[in-house]
Structures are given as structure tokens and as C-alpha cells.
Structure 1
Amino acid sequence: MTGLKFSTHLVSAPLHTPFVTALRTATHADSLLVSITDGEYTGWGEAPQVWKVTGESLAGAQACVEGPIATALTGLGADDLTEALRRVQGAAQANFGAKAAVDVALHDLAAHRAQKTLQGFLGSTVTTVKTDVTLSAGDSAALVQAATDRLADGFDVLKVKVGTGDAAADFDRVRRIREAVGPGPRIRLDANQGWHRRDAVTVIRALEDAGCAIELVEQPVAAADLDGMAWITDRVSTPILADESVYGVRDLVNVIRRGAADLVNVKLAKCGGLATARTLLELAREHGLGSVVGSMMESHVGVGAAAALVAAYPTTAVNDLDAAWWLEQPPVSGGIRYEGSTIHLPSTPGLGVTGLIA
């Protein structure tokens, strides 16, 4: 792009608490940060490394950004946002994290040039959004303690990781959490593809019969098993949320056509950035599906962009944007800040990010 300079930065930010799911255990948030400058302003974006979900590596994301994406944008000026975003999506197959990083950086740069916050650039005056908080997978005692701790931290929507291979134990853990926290806090479950369809129905129905008031169940079975997810959706009252099953528009169309889920979880690193994410949220709304905006294990850059999206395109349920809360220290200065379950969006232009922390 004429007059614009790309830079990539590999970061590994330690978490204050290990993050455990049915798919992995994380102690650091590993990401590729991308900055794009026009000489006066700088836009930031992020591609997280999540081997077990997207299959993308930081090395691959960096090569994609510095290779085909940068080549595709050659010759465009700083004001050619629409064309730049189109070219980013067409520069390579898949590589959604790399595309998301550049897409967000271009949006951030455009917001800076317009002297608007990113949510303002997207058409919103909202300054705060709400998030849930995840309880890492563990035994009953550890989960009950984590739930109590998170309530004390100011969160009131608890996301419990299940699907670790023992359906009966999953039921017992969730039941014990509900008994410990009482009826007030909302509890949602995320199996991360870890259940078989019959186990999913058995556990969800048992929780319904026990009065555990589960708000929703996320991705109970393998991403490709839309028939299985539709089978579950038809047999339980608790809403089913599609996550790993939906990357782009074609995936969401398939979910809608097959009645496979009640809601969709839109993530920038899955779909390739803000441009596609907006389309997914609008498509879900038009077809009566609920929606949540989520995050991978990202920093204040990626989560800040997702929060700005939520501010401009409200979802039907509390969003899943606690990822940056887990960091001991952000890798960048500026940006969003957490106050319990409330994410405060910056009042300064773009994402409010002013640079890397050395």
C-alpha cells in the first residue's frame, strides 16, 4: 500500500491463572500483533495462536501478513478501506487470524484518521460492554472455588468448561457450582466439541431436570457434526450455541438451513475480521438466531476490536470477551480496561492502543 508500512510483532503474555479446556491448557497468550502506519497514525490488529481451534501458527500468520496480504494491498492508499478489506479476504485461503489482524489494523488506522473511536467509526456511541468469565476445567472443588472467586471479582455470568470425557462428572461439577453460587448468577457451558451427541443430551436433560438453569450450551459436539448438533438441539430445551462449527458466512448458512443451533458465536480470528463479523451478526439476526461475540486467548488489541464490534452491533446474550482479563499484564499500552464484568472502551481514537510495552 502506497505510503503505508506493515510491522509484525510476536508476543507471549503470561496468564495470571492457567486456562484449561477440553482441548488444551494455556499458561501464556501467544499472538502476532500487526501494526500499520501511514506516517502519522498507526492501526493495530492481532492474530492469536490457537492450534487446537483454528490450526494457525504465529509463523504462518506472520508469513501470510508479510507475504500475500501485503502484496495484495500494494498500490492502495490509506483512504481505500473498502477495497483494502476486499483484497485482504481474497489474498489467501483460510489464514483467518492473519486476515483478522490486518482487517482490524486497517479499521483502527481509518478510525485514527477520522479521529473517532473504533466503535464510533462503526457507528456507535456506546462506551461499555459486558462479558462473561470462564471457569477453567477442573474437579468440582476447584470449579466451585473458581466460581466463588469470579463472583467476588464482579462477574455474574459464569462460563463452565465441560466435555472432558466423563459426562457424569460434568453433570456433578455443574450441579455443585449451581448449589454453591445460588440461583442469581447465569451459568453457561462450553464443551469445546468434547461430548458425543447422546452424552450431550443425557447431561443437558439431567441438568434441566435438576433445575440448574443453564443459560446455553456451546459447541457440544465436533464442529463438522451438524447433524449431531441438530439432533441435540431438537431434544433439549436449553439453547445450543454454535462456535467451532461457524467460521464464515457459508458455515452459518449451513447451520441455519439444518436448524443445528439456536445461537452463533462470532469470533474475529475465526471469520477473518470486522467486515465478515458484521455480516455474520446481521445474517444471524435476519434468520432469528441469537448471537454472542467471543474471543480466543487474545490481548487488549483483539478483545478491544471485538468489544467495539459489540458496541456497534449488539448481540442477544452477554458476550465472551474475558480473554484479556486473564493476562498478568497487557503487551500494549492503552486500550480497553476491565471493571468486573464491564469492559470500558477507550475514549481516544481507534482502539486507544498507543504502542507495545517493552
Structure 2
Amino acid sequence: MKICTVETFFVHIPLQKPFVTALRTVHNMQSIVVKITADDGSNGWGKAVPTHVITGDSLGGIRYVIDHIFTPLLIGQDVRNREKIFEQMQRAVTGNTSAKAAVDMALYDLFGQLCMMPLHHVLGGYRNCLKTNMTVSVGTPSAMANEAAEYVAKGFTTLKVKVGTGSLIEERERLLQIRQRIGSNVTIRLDANQGWKPKEAIRIIRQLEEDGCAVEFVEQPVAAHDIAGLREVTRNTTTLIMADESLFSFEDAKNVLALRAVDVLNIKLMKSGGIREALKINALAESYGVNCMMGSMLESSIGVTAAAHVAASQPNILYIDLDAPLLVANEFPTSGVMYQKSLMKFTQQPGLGFDSKRMITWVKEHECE
């Protein structure tokens, strides 16, 4: 199976409502869709989203790297030699993890089709179903409590609550109101998106522990570069602490794991550079006895489907944060993963499981120049 063409498309999709975190407010989802066509007519699909405040990638940069740096490397290559291809991509450009992830997804999609198996079976086949949390955006305590109650009424039993924008009093009030509205049987996770200083994080987390808010873990409480601060928070609280923005590469994982700076790692394909690197990070974490979460940026089904296949293939990935397609106003309806409330179920189609004819139609409907 040799690569014949590589095409990129700029796609724009509105969100159902603004998505607010400590880092940014987003109204629309913009992304670059990649279609790689092989000599047997098969299409592999990938997608990259520009998350400037996290990855530093832009739409123009992603598209340029794929069109002008990766495409000349890819044409004529055999998909079966994917390790050679990935090695060449890594050497060709530094960083640019989102562009690398999009091409990586498409190559794995083609390889799954070549194997005539769903990708999660090719990668390990540990699960056939996942259960995702649902994310509550930053807002007033009452607005966040209402949003949380809305998601619980829709069948979600785990919520990831965005925090990191307020004082101890404000953050505490948000959590107390949410917990009061949804009861004690719903799992709450917090994501501060680097919003606190280390001492502030320790003070807030300890207060929530004393309040009995029963938080499962706190994601990235301090600045991404502050690994010493991250370790200080981990050592001085009983709640699990997770690295997100502090973790991009395998080398980052080696650093935070060797220092015992966190309890859990959040792997995202846009940060790691794709499936290949995500699997390496997870294997390293497993060797340290550290579990992982599979997350995503604010992206739609293509990227999230690839992440879901990785998560389903690995026993060490215990936590799932793949709700992003549920936030989109007009999401693509057919993919290798289908949502039933909080459950994500896989079809038995090979690769990522996309219907290419419908995918092409959907891309054309949402394409921008």
C-alpha cells in the first residue's frame, strides 16, 4: 500500500456555546483535515487543531508543514514501513506536533485498513467501549452548577470542571454549588489549566479536601514549565495531581516521572505528535506504575476517534476525556466511534472506521479558504 496523494482542507465548525477555560474562550472550532490516498484507492484521515496557547501551532503553520515538508516525504512511501516514515517526519521538522499528529493518524488509519481490522484491535484490543467525562466551562458558580446538572440529567456520571480563574473563595463556591446540585454519586475532576501558583493550589486543594468535595484529581494546577511547583503540589495534597500542559513528549514524560512530580499523565495526540508517540509515553508511564488519561484538544470526531482507538487498546489508560465532539453544533455523524450518552462504542470497520464518501461530503460542506 503506497501513498499517492496528500490533501489538506481548512474546516470551520461553530460550537454549541462558548468554551471557557483559564487559558482562553473559544466560539468556533477551526482545523486542518488531512486525506492521504493510497494506490489501492484507500483513504486515511487525520486532523490537526491550532491551540496557540498550548501547542503554539497555527492553521497556516500546520498546513504549510503538511503540504510543503511532509508531503514530499510521503509520496511513494509504503504504509507498511510506517516506522521509517515517522522517523523521517521527526527529523524533517522540530516541534509542530499538531501537524505530525494529523499525518500520523491518517497513516495509522491506512494501516488498520491494510490489516482489515479496527485500529484499536491492531494496537492491542483491550476494550470495545469507553466512558468519557463531560466538561463544565468556567463561569459563575450558579451557571456552572446549572451546566453540571444539565449534563448529569443527560446521563453523564463523571464531570471535568474547569477552574483556575478565581480566588480560593471563588473556586470553593463553584465546587460547593456544583456538588450540592449534582449530589455525591457523580465523579468530579478539576482542570485548572495552569491557573494557580503552587502555594495557592495547595491551599485551594486542601480546602476542597476539608470540604469533602470528593475531587478525583486536579489537572495541571500550575504553570507548564514549573515542574518543581507541580511536584510540591503533589507532595502536599492527598488528591491525585495530573500533568497536562507539562507533558508533550516522551522526554517530558521521563522528566516528570523520574521526579515523581505527578500521579497521573494526560496524553493528547496534538501534544505528543500522534499515536506512535502517545503509545511510547503510555508504556513509560506504565513502567513507573503511573496511570494515564486520554484527552483531546477542542476538536471534532476525526482526532477524537484516533485518540479513542489508542485509549481502547491500552489497559494503563484508565481515564477518558473525549467529549469534545459533543460540544460542536453540527458534528460529523458517522465515524468509527459512536456516542451513547457518556459511552463511546466502536464500529467494526477497519482503521479509524470512517466512511470516506460521507467524509468528503462533510469536509466540502465545512471547508473554508
TM-score (norm 2): 0.94
Return the offset for 1:82.
2.1
Question: C-alpha distance in 1, partners of 2:333/2:101?
Answer: 18
Where in structure 2 are the equivalents of 1:121-200 lying within 5 Å? 121-124=122-125, 126-200=127-201
Aligned to 2:284: 283
Question: C-alpha distance in 2, partners of 1:61/1:185?
Answer: 39
Native 8 Å contact 1:11 1:331 kept in 2 = no
Question: C-alpha distance in 2, partners of 1:137/1:307?
Answer: 25
Partner SS state of residue 233, structure 1:
helix
Aligned to 2:109: 108
Return the offset for 1:74.
4.4
Q: 1:2 to 1:41 in 2, by over 3 A?
A: closer
Return the offset for 1:85.
2.1
Return the offset for 1:123.
2.7
Native 8 Å contact 1:304 1:345 kept in 2 = no
Aligned to 2:8: 8
Aligned to 1:30: 30
Return the offset for 1:86.
2.0
Question: C-alpha distance in 1, partners of 2:263/2:278?
Answer: 18
Q: 1:257 to 1:125 in 2, by over 3 A?
A: closer
Return the offset for 1:2.
5.5
Q: 1:346 to 1:136 in 2, by over 3 A?
A: same
Aligned to 2:59: 58
Structure 1: segments with no counterpart, 5+ residues: none
Aligned to 2:222: 221
**What is the RMSD of the two structures over their aligned residues, measured on CA atoms?**
1.5
Native 8 Å contact 1:263 1:289 kept in 2 = yes
Partner SS state of residue 217, structure 1:
strand
Instruction: Please tell me whether residue 340 in structure 1 is matched to residue 341 in structure 2.
Output: yes
Return the offset for 1:66.
1.0
C-alpha deviations, 1:278-329, integer Å up to 9, x for none? 0111100110212101000111110000000011013453211101111122
Question: C-alpha distance in 2, partners of 1:3/1:82?
Answer: 15
Native 8 Å contact 1:130 1:342 kept in 2 = yes
Instruction: Please tell me whether residue 72 in structure 1 is matched to residue 38 in structure 2.
Output: no
Aligned to 1:21: 21
Question: C-alpha distance in 2, partners of 1:296/1:317?
Answer: 18
Question: C-alpha distance in 1, partners of 2:47/2:316?
Answer: 22
Aligned to 2:46: 45
Question: C-alpha distance in 2, partners of 1:17/1:311?
Answer: 29
Further displaced range: 70-79 or 281-290: 70-79
Question: C-alpha distance in 1, partners of 2:276/2:2?
Answer: 22
Amino acid at match of 2:309: A
Question: C-alpha distance in 2, partners of 1:8/1:190?
Answer: 32
Q: 1:281 to 1:125 in 2, by over 3 A?
A: closer
Aligned to 1:119: 120
Partner SS state of residue 317, structure 1:
strand
Question: C-alpha distance in 1, partners of 2:167/2:53?
Answer: 20
Return the offset for 1:332.
7.1
Partner SS state of residue 80, structure 2:
coil
C-alpha deviations, 1:25-49, integer Å up to 9, x for none? 1121111111101141100011111
Aligned to 2:213: 212
Partner SS state of residue 295, structure 1:
coil
Amino acid at match of 1:50: T
Identity %: 39
Native 8 Å contact 1:88 1:102 kept in 2 = no
Instruction: Please tell me whether residue 302 in structure 1 is matched to residue 328 in structure 2.
Output: no
Return the offset for 1:125.
6.1
Question: C-alpha distance in 2, partners of 1:252/1:52?
Answer: 20
Question: C-alpha distance in 1, partners of 2:338/2:48?
Answer: 20
Native 8 Å contact 1:332 1:353 kept in 2 = no
Tell me the number of residue pairs that the alignment of Structure 1 and Structure 2 aligns.
358
Question: C-alpha distance in 1, partners of 2:352/2:46?
Answer: 9
Amino acid at match of 2:295: G
Native 8 Å contact 1:191 1:217 kept in 2 = yes
Structure 2: segments with no counterpart, 5+ residues: none
Partner SS state of residue 80, structure 1:
helix
Return the offset for 1:71.
2.6
